[in-house]
A and B are shown apart, each in its own frame.
Chain A
Protein backbone atom coordinates (compact mmCIF):
# COMPACT_ATOMS: atom_id res chain seq x y z
CA UNK A 1 0.00 0.00 0.00
CA UNK A 2 1.46 3.31 -1.08
CA UNK A 3 0.04 6.50 0.37
CA UNK A 4 1.04 10.02 -0.66
CA UNK A 5 -0.82 12.87 1.00
CA UNK A 6 -0.32 16.53 0.17
CA UNK A 7 3.29 16.02 -0.78
CA UNK A 8 5.28 19.09 -1.84
CA UNK A 9 8.83 19.23 -3.11
CA UNK A 10 10.74 22.19 -4.46
CA UNK A 11 14.29 22.63 -5.70
CA UNK A 12 16.55 25.62 -5.52
CA UNK A 13 18.25 26.06 -8.84
CA UNK A 14 21.09 28.46 -9.62
CA UNK A 15 20.30 30.72 -12.53
CA UNK A 16 22.38 33.02 -14.66
CA UNK A 17 22.30 34.60 -18.08
CA UNK A 18 24.56 33.56 -20.92
CA UNK A 19 28.02 35.02 -21.33
CA UNK A 20 31.39 35.10 -19.67
CA UNK A 21 30.84 38.22 -17.58
CA UNK A 22 27.62 36.78 -16.26
CA UNK A 23 29.42 33.58 -15.39
CA UNK A 24 32.01 35.55 -13.42
CA UNK A 25 29.33 37.49 -11.65
CA UNK A 26 27.58 34.27 -10.71
CA UNK A 27 30.75 33.13 -9.04
CA UNK A 28 30.27 35.73 -6.34
CA UNK A 29 26.59 36.26 -6.09
CA UNK A 30 24.24 33.58 -7.17
CA UNK A 31 20.67 34.04 -8.06
CA UNK A 32 18.43 31.19 -7.20
CA UNK A 33 15.09 30.25 -8.53
CA UNK A 34 12.76 27.97 -6.66
CA UNK A 35 11.11 25.34 -8.78
CA UNK A 36 8.08 23.55 -7.44
CA UNK A 37 8.51 20.01 -8.69
CA UNK A 38 5.56 18.70 -6.72
CA UNK A 39 2.79 20.71 -5.19
CA UNK A 40 0.15 18.97 -3.15
CA UNK A 41 0.37 15.51 -4.66
CA UNK A 42 -1.92 12.87 -3.19
CA UNK A 43 -2.75 9.35 -4.29
CA UNK A 44 -3.07 5.83 -2.95
CA UNK A 45 -1.92 2.66 -4.66
CA UNK A 46 -3.09 -0.71 -3.39
CA UNK A 47 -0.99 -3.88 -3.26
CA UNK A 48 -0.64 -5.66 -6.56
CA UNK A 49 -1.80 -2.75 -8.65
CA UNK A 50 -0.12 -1.69 -11.88
CA UNK A 51 -0.12 2.04 -12.33
CA UNK A 52 1.02 4.10 -15.28
CA UNK A 53 2.39 7.43 -14.19
CA UNK A 54 2.42 9.82 -17.11
CA UNK A 55 3.05 13.46 -17.82
CA UNK A 56 5.28 15.65 -19.96
CA UNK A 57 8.98 16.13 -19.26
CA UNK A 58 9.64 17.99 -16.05
CA UNK A 59 6.17 17.34 -14.70
CA UNK A 60 7.44 15.72 -11.50
CA UNK A 61 7.36 12.03 -12.37
CA UNK A 62 10.96 11.33 -11.45
CA UNK A 63 10.68 13.39 -8.28
CA UNK A 64 7.73 11.28 -7.19
CA UNK A 65 9.62 8.05 -7.88
CA UNK A 66 12.64 9.39 -6.00
CA UNK A 67 10.55 10.32 -2.98
CA UNK A 68 8.81 6.95 -2.97
CA UNK A 69 12.12 5.12 -3.22
CA UNK A 70 13.67 7.10 -0.36
CA UNK A 71 16.21 9.08 -2.39
CA UNK A 72 14.65 12.47 -1.77
CA UNK A 73 12.95 13.97 1.25
CA UNK A 74 9.73 15.85 0.57
CA UNK A 75 9.33 19.39 1.93
CA UNK A 76 5.97 18.58 3.43
CA UNK A 77 3.23 15.99 3.32
CA UNK A 78 2.86 12.37 4.34
CA UNK A 79 4.48 9.50 2.48
CA UNK A 80 3.92 5.92 3.56
CA UNK A 81 4.87 2.76 1.75
CA UNK A 82 3.63 -0.39 3.50
CA UNK A 83 3.65 1.63 6.70
CA UNK A 84 7.25 2.80 6.30
CA UNK A 85 8.39 6.35 5.72
CA UNK A 86 10.85 5.90 2.82
CA UNK A 87 13.23 8.76 3.62
CA UNK A 88 13.32 7.98 7.35
CA UNK A 89 13.87 4.23 7.31
CA UNK A 90 15.86 4.11 4.09
CA UNK A 91 17.58 0.79 4.73
CA UNK A 92 14.43 -1.05 5.79
CA UNK A 93 12.52 0.45 2.94
CA UNK A 94 14.81 -0.23 0.00
CA UNK A 95 15.01 -3.93 0.85
CA UNK A 96 11.41 -4.24 -0.21
CA UNK A 97 11.53 -2.27 -3.43
CA UNK A 98 13.16 -2.63 -6.81
CA UNK A 99 14.01 0.39 -8.93
CA UNK A 100 14.95 0.57 -12.59
CA UNK A 101 16.11 3.89 -13.99
CA UNK A 102 15.81 3.45 -17.75
CA UNK A 103 18.57 5.93 -18.46
CA UNK A 104 21.12 4.64 -15.96
CA UNK A 105 22.73 1.31 -15.51
CA UNK A 106 23.15 -0.54 -12.27
CA UNK A 107 25.29 -3.23 -13.87
CA UNK A 108 29.09 -3.26 -13.94
CA UNK A 109 30.16 -2.29 -17.41
CA UNK A 110 33.24 -4.46 -17.88
CA UNK A 111 32.32 -7.76 -16.30
CA UNK A 112 29.77 -10.43 -17.21
CA UNK A 113 26.20 -9.75 -16.09
CA UNK A 114 26.26 -12.68 -13.70
CA UNK A 115 29.06 -10.99 -11.72
CA UNK A 116 26.83 -7.98 -11.11
CA UNK A 117 24.03 -10.29 -10.03
CA UNK A 118 26.31 -12.07 -7.57
CA UNK A 119 27.29 -8.72 -6.09
CA UNK A 120 23.62 -7.78 -5.71
CA UNK A 121 23.11 -11.06 -3.88
CA UNK A 122 25.56 -9.84 -1.25
CA UNK A 123 24.27 -6.27 -1.22
CA UNK A 124 20.72 -7.41 -0.49
CA UNK A 125 21.86 -10.41 1.60
CA UNK A 126 19.61 -12.69 -0.44
CA UNK A 127 19.53 -16.25 0.92
CA UNK A 128 21.15 -18.75 -1.44
CA UNK A 129 18.00 -20.71 -2.26
CA UNK A 130 15.93 -17.61 -2.94
CA UNK A 131 18.67 -16.22 -5.15
CA UNK A 132 18.95 -19.34 -7.25
CA UNK A 133 15.21 -19.78 -7.57
CA UNK A 134 14.77 -16.14 -8.61
CA UNK A 135 17.68 -16.24 -10.99
CA UNK A 136 16.35 -19.35 -12.66
CA UNK A 137 12.88 -17.90 -13.04
CA UNK A 138 14.11 -14.54 -14.35
CA UNK A 139 16.53 -16.21 -16.76
CA UNK A 140 13.71 -18.21 -18.22
CA UNK A 141 11.15 -15.42 -18.45
CA UNK A 142 13.54 -12.80 -19.80
CA UNK A 143 15.56 -15.21 -21.97
CA UNK A 144 18.87 -14.35 -20.34
CA UNK A 145 20.68 -17.67 -20.73
CA UNK A 146 22.90 -16.38 -23.51
CA UNK A 147 23.45 -12.98 -21.93
CA UNK A 148 24.52 -13.80 -18.40
CA UNK A 149 28.09 -14.57 -19.34
CA UNK A 150 28.73 -11.61 -21.66
CA UNK A 151 30.20 -8.34 -20.40
CA UNK A 152 27.59 -5.62 -20.16
CA UNK A 153 29.38 -3.34 -22.61
CA UNK A 154 28.80 -5.91 -25.37
CA UNK A 155 25.04 -6.10 -24.89
CA UNK A 156 22.53 -4.23 -26.99
CA UNK A 157 20.27 -1.74 -25.22
CA UNK A 158 17.35 -4.16 -25.32
CA UNK A 159 19.41 -6.99 -23.90
CA UNK A 160 20.82 -4.71 -21.22
CA UNK A 161 17.38 -3.52 -20.20
CA UNK A 162 16.24 -7.10 -19.71
CA UNK A 163 19.24 -7.66 -17.47
CA UNK A 164 18.56 -4.43 -15.57
CA UNK A 165 15.02 -5.52 -14.85
CA UNK A 166 16.20 -8.93 -13.72
CA UNK A 167 18.77 -7.24 -11.47
CA UNK A 168 16.10 -5.23 -9.72
CA UNK A 169 13.96 -8.29 -9.01
CA UNK A 170 16.56 -10.70 -7.62
CA UNK A 171 15.62 -9.86 -4.04
CA UNK A 172 11.89 -10.43 -4.65
CA UNK A 173 10.74 -6.87 -3.92
CA UNK A 174 7.09 -6.20 -3.18
CA UNK A 175 7.09 -3.01 -5.20
CA UNK A 176 8.78 -2.30 -8.51
CA UNK A 177 9.46 1.22 -9.76
CA UNK A 178 10.20 1.51 -13.44
CA UNK A 179 11.37 4.89 -14.68
CA UNK A 180 11.03 4.83 -18.47
CA UNK A 181 11.93 1.16 -18.89
CA UNK A 182 11.26 1.06 -22.63
CA UNK A 183 13.11 4.22 -23.61
CA UNK A 184 15.11 3.68 -26.78
CA UNK A 185 14.16 0.03 -27.22
CA UNK A 186 13.18 -1.61 -30.50
CA UNK A 187 9.73 -3.10 -31.01
CA UNK A 188 10.71 -6.66 -30.12
CA UNK A 189 12.46 -5.70 -26.90
CA UNK A 190 9.63 -3.39 -25.89
CA UNK A 191 7.10 -6.16 -26.27
CA UNK A 192 9.33 -8.58 -24.38
CA UNK A 193 9.71 -6.13 -21.51
CA UNK A 194 5.98 -5.44 -21.35
CA UNK A 195 5.09 -9.11 -21.43
CA UNK A 196 7.49 -9.76 -18.62
CA UNK A 197 6.23 -6.95 -16.40
CA UNK A 198 2.71 -8.20 -16.86
CA UNK A 199 3.68 -11.73 -15.95
CA UNK A 200 5.65 -10.59 -12.91
CA UNK A 201 2.61 -8.73 -11.65
CA UNK A 202 0.34 -11.74 -12.16
CA UNK A 203 2.73 -14.31 -10.72
CA UNK A 204 4.05 -12.47 -7.67
CA UNK A 205 1.45 -9.74 -7.17
CA UNK A 206 4.27 -7.23 -7.38
CA UNK A 207 3.00 -3.67 -7.28
CA UNK A 208 4.31 -1.88 -10.37
CA UNK A 209 4.62 1.85 -10.82
CA UNK A 210 5.74 2.78 -14.26
CA UNK A 211 6.60 6.14 -15.76
CA UNK A 212 6.79 6.37 -19.49
CA UNK A 213 6.23 8.53 -22.52
CA UNK A 214 5.29 5.53 -24.59
CA UNK A 215 1.51 5.30 -24.54
CA UNK A 216 1.59 1.77 -25.90
CA UNK A 217 3.27 0.78 -22.64
CA UNK A 218 0.33 2.16 -20.77
CA UNK A 219 -2.18 0.56 -23.07
CA UNK A 220 -0.52 -2.82 -22.69
CA UNK A 221 0.11 -2.71 -18.99
CA UNK A 222 -1.87 -0.56 -16.69
CA UNK A 223 -5.47 -0.45 -15.79
CA UNK A 224 -4.91 2.75 -13.93
CA UNK A 225 -3.36 6.01 -15.05
CA UNK A 226 -2.17 8.92 -12.97
CA UNK A 227 -1.52 12.06 -14.98
CA UNK A 228 0.77 14.68 -13.52
CA UNK A 229 1.53 18.11 -14.92
CA UNK A 230 3.42 21.05 -13.41
CA UNK A 231 3.66 19.17 -10.15
CA UNK A 232 -0.04 18.57 -9.72
CA UNK A 233 -2.10 15.43 -10.15
CA UNK A 234 -4.52 16.23 -12.94
CA UNK A 235 -6.22 12.95 -13.46
CA UNK A 236 -6.44 9.61 -11.72
CA UNK A 237 -8.49 7.03 -13.55
CA UNK A 238 -8.59 4.21 -16.05
CA UNK A 239 -7.67 4.25 -19.68
CA UNK A 240 -11.32 4.03 -20.63
CA UNK A 241 -12.06 7.18 -18.66
CA UNK A 242 -9.90 9.29 -20.90
CA UNK A 243 -10.59 7.61 -24.23
CA UNK A 244 -12.98 9.49 -26.41
CA UNK A 245 -14.46 7.68 -29.37
CA UNK A 246 -11.90 5.79 -31.35
CA UNK A 247 -9.02 8.25 -31.34
CA UNK A 248 -5.63 6.54 -30.89
CA UNK A 249 -4.01 6.55 -27.48
CA UNK A 250 -1.30 9.02 -28.50
CA UNK A 251 -3.85 11.52 -29.80
CA UNK A 252 -5.96 11.09 -26.69
CA UNK A 253 -3.03 11.88 -24.42
CA UNK A 254 -1.84 14.78 -26.57
CA UNK A 255 -5.37 16.14 -26.41
CA UNK A 256 -5.31 15.71 -22.66
CA UNK A 257 -2.01 17.60 -22.32
CA UNK A 258 -3.45 20.41 -24.41
CA UNK A 259 -6.65 20.53 -22.41
CA UNK A 260 -4.70 20.89 -19.17
CA UNK A 261 -2.26 23.31 -20.78
CA UNK A 262 0.85 21.40 -19.69
Chain B
Protein backbone atom coordinates (compact mmCIF):
# COMPACT_ATOMS: atom_id res chain seq x y z
CA UNK B 1 0.00 0.00 0.00
CA UNK B 2 2.76 2.43 1.03
CA UNK B 3 4.75 1.44 -2.04
CA UNK B 4 1.70 2.12 -4.18
CA UNK B 5 1.26 5.61 -2.76
CA UNK B 6 4.95 6.30 -3.26
CA UNK B 7 4.64 5.19 -6.88
CA UNK B 8 1.60 7.40 -7.40
CA UNK B 9 3.32 10.46 -5.94
CA UNK B 10 6.36 9.81 -8.10
CA UNK B 11 4.20 9.52 -11.19
CA UNK B 12 2.33 12.69 -10.25
CA UNK B 13 5.63 14.58 -10.09
CA UNK B 14 6.63 13.12 -13.39
CA UNK B 15 3.38 14.38 -14.93
CA UNK B 16 4.00 17.79 -13.38
CA UNK B 17 7.52 17.96 -14.77
CA UNK B 18 6.42 16.97 -18.27
CA UNK B 19 3.72 19.66 -18.10
CA UNK B 20 6.30 22.25 -17.11
CA UNK B 21 8.47 21.16 -20.02
CA UNK B 22 5.47 21.49 -22.38
CA UNK B 23 4.65 24.96 -21.06
CA UNK B 24 8.26 26.06 -21.46
CA UNK B 25 8.08 25.27 -25.16
CA UNK B 26 5.99 28.40 -25.53
CA UNK B 27 7.58 30.77 -23.06
CA UNK B 28 6.12 34.04 -24.35
CA UNK B 29 2.63 32.64 -24.43
CA UNK B 30 3.09 31.29 -20.93
CA UNK B 31 4.19 34.61 -19.45
CA UNK B 32 1.58 36.65 -21.30
CA UNK B 33 -1.22 34.35 -20.15
CA UNK B 34 0.09 34.48 -16.60
CA UNK B 35 0.20 38.27 -16.80
CA UNK B 36 -3.34 38.28 -18.18
CA UNK B 37 -4.51 36.18 -15.26
CA UNK B 38 -2.87 38.64 -12.90
CA UNK B 39 -4.58 41.61 -14.51
CA UNK B 40 -8.02 40.02 -14.64
CA UNK B 41 -7.94 39.43 -10.91
CA UNK B 42 -6.58 42.92 -10.40
CA UNK B 43 -9.76 44.20 -12.03
CA UNK B 44 -11.87 42.48 -9.42
CA UNK B 45 -9.66 43.98 -6.75
CA UNK B 46 -10.37 47.45 -8.20
CA UNK B 47 -14.09 46.65 -8.12
CA UNK B 48 -13.94 45.97 -4.41
CA UNK B 49 -11.77 49.03 -3.88
CA UNK B 50 -14.21 51.45 -5.51
CA UNK B 51 -17.13 49.89 -3.76
CA UNK B 52 -15.52 50.56 -0.42
CA UNK B 53 -14.82 54.15 -1.40
CA UNK B 54 -18.57 54.62 -1.02
CA UNK B 55 -19.40 52.23 1.80
CA UNK B 56 -17.42 51.81 4.95
CA UNK B 57 -18.44 48.25 5.62
CA UNK B 58 -20.49 45.42 4.14
CA UNK B 59 -22.45 43.41 6.66
CA UNK B 60 -19.97 44.40 9.32
CA UNK B 61 -16.90 43.47 7.31
CA UNK B 62 -14.37 46.19 6.55
CA UNK B 63 -12.46 46.69 3.33
CA UNK B 64 -9.33 44.83 4.36
CA UNK B 65 -11.38 42.02 5.86
CA UNK B 66 -13.24 41.55 2.60
CA UNK B 67 -9.91 41.56 0.75
CA UNK B 68 -8.64 38.89 3.09
CA UNK B 69 -11.74 36.82 2.38
CA UNK B 70 -11.51 37.24 -1.37
CA UNK B 71 -7.80 36.55 -1.55
CA UNK B 72 -8.17 33.25 0.27
CA UNK B 73 -11.02 32.18 -2.05
CA UNK B 74 -8.93 33.21 -5.04
CA UNK B 75 -5.95 31.24 -3.79
CA UNK B 76 -8.10 28.16 -3.28
CA UNK B 77 -9.56 28.49 -6.76
CA UNK B 78 -6.20 29.11 -8.43
CA UNK B 79 -4.65 26.11 -6.71
CA UNK B 80 -7.54 23.91 -7.72
CA UNK B 81 -7.35 25.18 -11.27
CA UNK B 82 -3.62 24.63 -11.46
CA UNK B 83 -3.75 21.10 -10.20
CA UNK B 84 -7.19 19.84 -11.19
CA UNK B 85 -7.41 21.53 -14.57
CA UNK B 86 -7.35 18.12 -16.24
CA UNK B 87 -11.00 17.69 -15.23
CA UNK B 88 -11.91 20.99 -16.82
CA UNK B 89 -10.56 19.76 -20.14
CA UNK B 90 -12.17 16.40 -19.68
CA UNK B 91 -15.07 16.89 -22.15
CA UNK B 92 -12.44 17.21 -24.85
CA UNK B 93 -10.86 13.96 -23.72
CA UNK B 94 -14.17 12.15 -23.97
CA UNK B 95 -15.06 13.74 -27.29
CA UNK B 96 -11.79 12.89 -28.99
CA UNK B 97 -11.63 9.47 -27.40
CA UNK B 98 -8.30 10.04 -25.68
CA UNK B 99 -9.91 8.79 -22.49
CA UNK B 100 -9.56 5.34 -24.09
CA UNK B 101 -5.84 5.88 -23.83
CA UNK B 102 -6.25 6.47 -20.10
CA UNK B 103 -8.19 3.24 -19.68
CA UNK B 104 -5.50 1.09 -21.29
CA UNK B 105 -2.91 2.20 -18.75
CA UNK B 106 -2.42 0.35 -15.46
CA UNK B 107 -2.90 3.42 -13.29
CA UNK B 108 -5.79 5.09 -11.53
CA UNK B 109 -7.94 7.09 -13.97
CA UNK B 110 -8.14 10.16 -11.76
CA UNK B 111 -4.38 10.36 -11.40
CA UNK B 112 -3.98 10.18 -15.16
CA UNK B 113 -6.64 12.78 -15.89
CA UNK B 114 -5.13 15.11 -13.29
CA UNK B 115 -1.73 14.59 -14.83
CA UNK B 116 -2.92 15.27 -18.35
CA UNK B 117 -2.95 19.02 -17.74
CA UNK B 118 -1.62 21.39 -15.14
CA UNK B 119 -2.67 24.95 -15.83
CA UNK B 120 0.50 26.59 -14.60
CA UNK B 121 -0.37 30.00 -16.02
CA UNK B 122 -2.74 30.37 -13.07
CA UNK B 123 0.36 31.31 -11.15
CA UNK B 124 -0.51 34.87 -12.23
CA UNK B 125 -3.84 34.74 -10.44
CA UNK B 126 -2.18 33.11 -7.47
CA UNK B 127 0.32 35.95 -7.28
CA UNK B 128 -2.48 38.52 -7.31
CA UNK B 129 -4.18 36.61 -4.53
CA UNK B 130 -1.00 36.55 -2.47
CA UNK B 131 -0.56 40.33 -2.87
CA UNK B 132 -4.15 40.93 -1.78
CA UNK B 133 -3.76 38.51 1.07
CA UNK B 134 -0.68 40.32 2.27
CA UNK B 135 -2.51 43.65 2.08
CA UNK B 136 -5.55 42.26 3.86
CA UNK B 137 -3.41 40.72 6.58
CA UNK B 138 -1.43 43.86 7.25
CA UNK B 139 -4.48 46.13 7.41
CA UNK B 140 -7.19 44.07 9.08
CA UNK B 141 -5.36 43.96 12.39
CA UNK B 142 -5.55 40.20 12.74
CA UNK B 143 -3.75 39.02 15.80
CA UNK B 144 -1.69 36.18 14.32
CA UNK B 145 -1.13 33.07 16.30
CA UNK B 146 -0.28 29.49 15.54
CA UNK B 147 -3.94 28.47 15.44
CA UNK B 148 -4.81 31.25 13.00
CA UNK B 149 -2.04 30.26 10.61
CA UNK B 150 -3.31 26.70 10.86
CA UNK B 151 -6.80 27.98 10.04
CA UNK B 152 -5.56 29.62 6.84
CA UNK B 153 -3.77 26.44 5.80
CA UNK B 154 -6.90 24.37 6.52
CA UNK B 155 -8.94 26.89 4.52
CA UNK B 156 -6.64 26.39 1.54
CA UNK B 157 -6.84 22.61 1.82
CA UNK B 158 -10.61 22.57 2.27
CA UNK B 159 -11.20 25.13 -0.48
CA UNK B 160 -9.01 23.25 -2.89
CA UNK B 161 -11.03 20.13 -2.09
CA UNK B 162 -14.37 21.87 -2.71
CA UNK B 163 -13.32 23.30 -6.05
CA UNK B 164 -11.64 20.07 -7.12
CA UNK B 165 -14.82 18.25 -6.16
CA UNK B 166 -16.82 20.57 -8.39
CA UNK B 167 -14.40 19.96 -11.25
CA UNK B 168 -14.71 16.25 -10.64
CA UNK B 169 -18.52 16.45 -10.82
CA UNK B 170 -18.18 18.43 -14.01
CA UNK B 171 -15.95 15.74 -15.50
CA UNK B 172 -18.24 12.95 -14.32
CA UNK B 173 -21.24 14.58 -16.02
CA UNK B 174 -19.32 14.33 -19.32
CA UNK B 175 -19.88 10.59 -19.26
CA UNK B 176 -23.61 11.19 -19.61
CA UNK B 177 -23.82 14.23 -21.84
CA UNK B 178 -21.40 16.53 -23.55
CA UNK B 179 -23.94 19.30 -24.03
CA UNK B 180 -24.94 22.12 -21.77
CA UNK B 181 -22.23 21.58 -19.20
CA UNK B 182 -21.72 25.32 -19.06
CA UNK B 183 -24.16 25.51 -16.17
CA UNK B 184 -21.46 23.99 -14.00
CA UNK B 185 -19.55 27.25 -14.38
CA UNK B 186 -22.20 28.87 -12.23
CA UNK B 187 -20.90 26.72 -9.41
CA UNK B 188 -17.17 27.05 -10.10
CA UNK B 189 -16.52 30.49 -11.57
CA UNK B 190 -19.63 31.74 -9.84
CA UNK B 191 -18.29 30.62 -6.49
CA UNK B 192 -15.08 32.44 -7.15
CA UNK B 193 -16.91 35.65 -8.02
CA UNK B 194 -19.36 35.50 -5.14
CA UNK B 195 -16.55 34.43 -2.88
CA UNK B 196 -15.37 38.03 -2.90
CA UNK B 197 -17.64 38.73 0.06
CA UNK B 198 -18.31 36.59 3.10
CA UNK B 199 -21.23 34.29 2.25
CA UNK B 200 -23.39 35.71 5.05
CA UNK B 201 -24.09 38.90 3.09
CA UNK B 202 -26.15 36.88 0.60
CA UNK B 203 -28.65 35.94 3.26
CA UNK B 204 -29.59 33.06 5.57
CA UNK B 205 -30.77 30.70 2.82
CA UNK B 206 -27.54 31.03 0.89
CA UNK B 207 -25.62 30.38 4.05
CA UNK B 208 -27.57 27.17 4.61
CA UNK B 209 -27.02 25.94 1.07
CA UNK B 210 -23.31 26.68 1.21
CA UNK B 211 -22.99 25.00 4.56
CA UNK B 212 -24.72 21.75 3.82
CA UNK B 213 -25.01 21.30 0.06
CA UNK B 214 -21.91 22.76 -1.53
CA UNK B 215 -19.70 23.58 1.41
CA UNK B 216 -18.25 26.94 0.43
CA UNK B 217 -19.18 28.52 3.72
CA UNK B 218 -17.17 25.91 5.58
CA UNK B 219 -13.99 27.06 3.88
CA UNK B 220 -14.83 30.74 3.75
CA UNK B 221 -17.34 32.25 6.14
CA UNK B 222 -16.91 30.29 9.38
CA UNK B 223 -13.11 30.18 9.51
CA UNK B 224 -13.07 33.85 8.49
CA UNK B 225 -15.05 34.69 11.61
CA UNK B 226 -12.40 32.94 13.64
CA UNK B 227 -9.55 34.64 11.81
CA UNK B 228 -11.02 38.07 12.35
CA UNK B 229 -11.75 37.37 15.98
CA UNK B 230 -15.51 37.79 15.51
CA UNK B 231 -16.06 34.32 16.88
CA UNK B 232 -13.45 32.63 19.00
CA UNK B 233 -14.83 29.11 19.38
CA UNK B 234 -11.79 26.90 18.63
CA UNK B 235 -13.67 24.21 16.66
CA UNK B 236 -13.90 26.76 13.83
CA UNK B 237 -10.23 26.12 13.11
CA UNK B 238 -11.08 22.63 11.89
CA UNK B 239 -14.32 23.45 10.11
CA UNK B 240 -12.62 23.93 6.70
CA UNK B 241 -11.35 20.36 6.84
CA UNK B 242 -14.95 19.15 7.06
CA UNK B 243 -15.43 20.42 3.52
CA UNK B 244 -13.29 17.54 2.31
CA UNK B 245 -16.37 15.29 2.68
CA UNK B 246 -17.57 16.92 -0.52
CA UNK B 247 -15.03 14.84 -2.45
CA UNK B 248 -16.88 11.65 -1.51
CA UNK B 249 -20.11 12.18 -3.49
CA UNK B 250 -18.06 13.69 -6.32
CA UNK B 251 -15.88 10.61 -6.42
CA UNK B 252 -18.90 8.31 -6.29
CA UNK B 253 -20.45 10.10 -9.25
CA UNK B 254 -17.18 9.79 -11.14
CA UNK B 255 -16.95 6.03 -10.47
CA UNK B 256 -20.52 5.66 -11.67
CA UNK B 257 -19.63 7.62 -14.80
CA UNK B 258 -16.59 5.53 -15.63
CA UNK B 259 -18.74 2.42 -15.50
CA UNK B 260 -21.23 4.11 -17.78
CA UNK B 261 -18.55 5.07 -20.31
CA UNK B 262 -19.39 4.35 -23.94
CA UNK B 263 -16.25 5.52 -25.74
CA UNK B 264 -16.41 7.31 -29.08
CA UNK B 265 -16.02 5.83 -32.56
CA UNK B 266 -12.68 4.65 -33.91
* B11 in the interface (beta carbon within 8 A): yes
Which residues of A are found within 8 Å of B14, using beta-carbon distances?
A: 118-119, 122
Q: Mark B237-264, 1 if CB is under 8 A from A, else 0.
A: 0000000000000000000000101110
Given contacts A124-B106, A125-B7, A151-B25, contact A119 B262 (CB under 8 A): no
Number of residues on chain B facing chain A (CB within 8 A): 27
Which residues of B are found within 8 Å of A155, using beta-carbon distances?
A: none
Rounded to whole angstroms, the CA-CA distance of A72 and B97 in the bound complex is 12
A172 to chain B, nearest CB (A): 13
Residue of B nearest to A95 (CB): B106
B115 to chain A, nearest CB (A): 9
Contact (Cβ within 8 A) B266 A97: no
Residue of B nearest to A211 (CB): B266
* B105 in the interface (beta carbon within 8 A): yes
Contact (Cβ within 8 A) A115 B18: yes
Q: Mark B114-142, 1 if CB is under 8 A from A, else 0.
A: 00000000000000000000000000000
Rounded to whole angstroms, the CA-CA distance of A110 and B26 in the bound complex is 9
Rounded to whole angstroms, the CA-CA distance of A116 and B105 in the bound complex is 14
Q: Which of A61-69, A188-196, A201-209, A237-245 contacts B (4 or more CB under 8 A)?
A: A61-69
Which residues of B are found within 8 Å of A123, using beta-carbon distances?
A: 11, 105-107, 112
Which residues of A are found within 8 Å of B107, using beta-carbon distances?
A: 91, 123
* B230 in the interface (beta carbon within 8 A): no
Rounded to whole angstroms, the CA-CA distance of A165 and B14 in the bound complex is 22
Q: Mark A21-63, 1 if CB is under 8 A from B, else 0.
A: 0000000000000000000000000000000000000000110
Rounded to whole angstroms, the CA-CA distance of A173 and B22 in the bound complex is 28
* B21 in the interface (beta carbon within 8 A): yes
Determine the interface band of chain A, counting residues with CB < 8 A from chain B. Answer: 35 or more
* A236 in the interface (beta carbon within 8 A): no
Contact (Cβ within 8 A) A122 B11: yes
Rounded to whole angstroms, the CA-CA distance of A124 and B7 in the bound complex is 10
Contact (Cβ within 8 A) B266 A108: no
Which residues of A are found within 8 Å of B266, using beta-carbon distances?
A: 61-62, 101, 103, 179-180
Contact (Cβ within 8 A) A104 B96: yes
Contact (Cβ within 8 A) A110 B22: yes
Rounded to whole angstroms, the CA-CA distance of A118 and B112 in the bound complex is 15
Contact (Cβ within 8 A) A108 B101: no
> Which of the listed residues B7, B101, B106, B107 has the most CB atoms from chain A within 10 Å of its own CB?
B106
Given contacts A103-B266, A104-B96, A111-B25, contact A119 B18 (CB under 8 A): yes
Residue of B nearest to A102 (CB): B266
Contact (Cβ within 8 A) A66 B100: yes
A166 to chain B, nearest CB (A): 16
B13 to chain A, nearest CB (A): 9
Q: Mark B1-25, 1 if CB is under 8 A from A, else 0.
A: 0000001001100110010011001
Given contacts A11-B262, A104-B100, A124-B106, 12 further A-B contacts (CB under 8 A): A66-B263, A70-B103, A71-B103, A72-B262, A92-B106, A101-B266, A110-B26, A111-B22, A122-B11, A123-B106, A123-B107, A125-B106
21 contacts between A and B (CB under 8 A): A70-B103, A71-B100, A71-B261, A71-B263, A72-B261, A72-B263, A94-B103, A94-B104, A101-B97, A101-B101, A104-B97, A108-B22, A111-B21, A111-B22, A118-B14, A119-B14, A119-B18, A122-B7, A124-B105, A125-B7, A179-B266
Footprint of A on B, CB under 8 Å?
Answer: 7, 10-11, 14-15, 18, 21-22, 25-26, 96-98, 100-101, 103-107, 112, 259, 261-263, 265-266
A-B interface, 7 closest residue pairs, ranked by CB to CB distance from nearest: A62-B266, A110-B22, A110-B25, A95-B106, A71-B103, A99-B104, A122-B11
